[in-house]
Amino acid sequence: MPSGDIDHDNTSTGQSPVKRKVLNADSIGVLSPSHFRTLRKAKRHLDMVKNKYREKQIQNDNLKKQIKRLKEKVKTYDDLVQKLHQKQFLTENASVHLQSIGSESLRTLIELNMKSKMLPCTSEMRKFAITLQFYSNKAYNFIRKSFKNVLPHPKTIKKAKNETVICNIVLDEMSTNIDTENDNSVPAKNALVFMAVGINGHWKMPIGYFLVAGLNGTERSNLLKQCLILMGDTGAKVHSITFDGAYSNGKMCSILGASFDLKDKLSFSFDNPYNNESIYIFYDPCQMIKLIRNTLGDMRCLFNQEGKKISWDHIKMLYFKEKNESLKAATKLTNKHVYYYNEKMNVKLATQVLSNSVGNGLKFCKSLGCDDFRDIDATSEFYFLMNDAFNILNCRSKYSKNPYCLALDEKQFDKYEKYEKFSRNFHNYVLGLRSILTAPGRVRAELYHFSARPGNPGVSIHTIQESVRVYLQLCRQL
């Protein structure tokens, strides 16, 4: 009997089974010369062979890709964050922050989940998930798709967002161009915006705005008081408030209870009308650094306690020397930095002028023996102090190489003491500044203090010590 299926009649009689002939082969293993005797059969079976070969090629390519993915598979928490950054799911700042919040227990938990070991979702894992989803939904979905059960479902995260919220209130006025058709009404010139910014989380949310033609300190204090009461009703804890150096803002805080006594740290705060907890006052460092630059640029020169001259002309000389030499002394000075009058709102220009690089550039030119740079010591010292003060108030990372650009935490009290020492030195230095037209300690309100309101950069540094201490204590209670 021809080869093919088994003949059961023969098996019943005790004879050996014989395979029946396969007319149309569906696999390469059963092909025989009889399948190619006619052109039609040959074409049909040749097409089958080609299709089988193509399928095997596809399987082979998929296996190679799988092997490559296994070799490149992330094995640690840092690898995971780095891969998200490489895929442009996260910005550089977000990557640095996610790496900084990863504790050893969180890293171990994620690494075990990557090895397909089922573990419960802890508070640290939940915090990481909320932070990652805040920065990028794409990154969050990528991790859930790539590593099964590493992160909870987004609906689970929404249910988990019931923790105590600690936030800072930011208020500012923005100019508006609103045309009113009714001539009898007073057109609004500004929009006063209130925004809540998370301190123990990474979020920000506008909570109200008012179109106004102008508000005095009393009216602002009433609005702020209502804002704090409404925030308290939601369960959020307001820890501090930030605004620019407008006189009405200082008056607003004075009405609410802040005395701004430089000898008392607690005077740079007022009681929350909702629960009588202290709310600490911070002036916006970006606004303050611009005002300091404008003060020096407009007055042309200042004098420190020793009577040494702090001159804006030193900046001009450094800029023109770099321009004439066609070489940079590691500064970023341009024509816009020196002649800033049309760029007063640009924070980057102000910070690049009042920076360590400019101070070092001045000292470098002095070391070359240039006569124009013999008396730059007071100017460079001024730049170094303002740069460090701005860094303290504007720092975001716990891992910066700059000693004054490290965020405070309860594990590193040496930084706390270093900042407190700097605060005292900065306080005495700025109060000793004077100009030709003013008495010592009365340079301009933008530098340290008015007779009626506090000094902007100094007050914020003066406040930061007590503010951080209370915040850390509050975190421990939660």
Whether the CB-CB separation of 300 and 311 falls below 8 Å is answered with: yes
Whether the CB-CB separation of 330 and 400 falls below 8 Å is answered with: no
Strands, sheet with 190-198, edge to edge from the N-terminal-most edge strand: 204-212, 190-198, 166-175, 237-243, 278-283, 269-271
The Cα-based distances of 278 to 249, 251, 471 in angstroms read 17, 18, 11
Whether the CB-CB separation of 240 and 206 falls below 8 Å is answered with: no
Q: What pLDDT, in 10s, does the model give residues 442-464?
A: 444 334 332 223 334 445 555 66
Whether the CB-CB separation of 289 and 299 falls below 8 Å is answered with: no
CA gap 398, 22 in Å, rounded? 75
CA gap 399, 414 in Å, rounded? 15
- Which stretches of the chain score pLDDT less than 70? 1-23, 67-77, 100-124, 146-150, 155, 157-163, 178-185, 262-266, 408-416, 436-478
The Cα-based distances of 305 to 167, 288, 360, 448, 456 in angstroms read 39, 22, 22, 14, 20
CA gap 105, 101 in Å, rounded? 11
CA gap 61, 144 in Å, rounded? 25
Whether the CB-CB separation of 341 and 353 falls below 8 Å is answered with: no
Note the pLDDT of residue 160: 56
Note the pLDDT of residue 3: 43
Q: Per the structure block, which two tokens stand in for 458?
A: 């100094």
What is the torsional sign of CA 85, 89, 93, 96?
Answer: negative
Indicate the pTM of the whole model: 0.61
Note the pLDDT of residue 448: 38
Note the pLDDT of residue 248: 87
Q: What pLDDT, in 10s, does the model give residues 198-226?
A: 887 778 888 999 988 888 888 999 999 99
Widest pairwise Cα distance in the chain: 127
CA gap 333, 82 in Å, rounded? 34
CA gap 123, 129 in Å, rounded? 10
Note the pLDDT of residue 349: 92
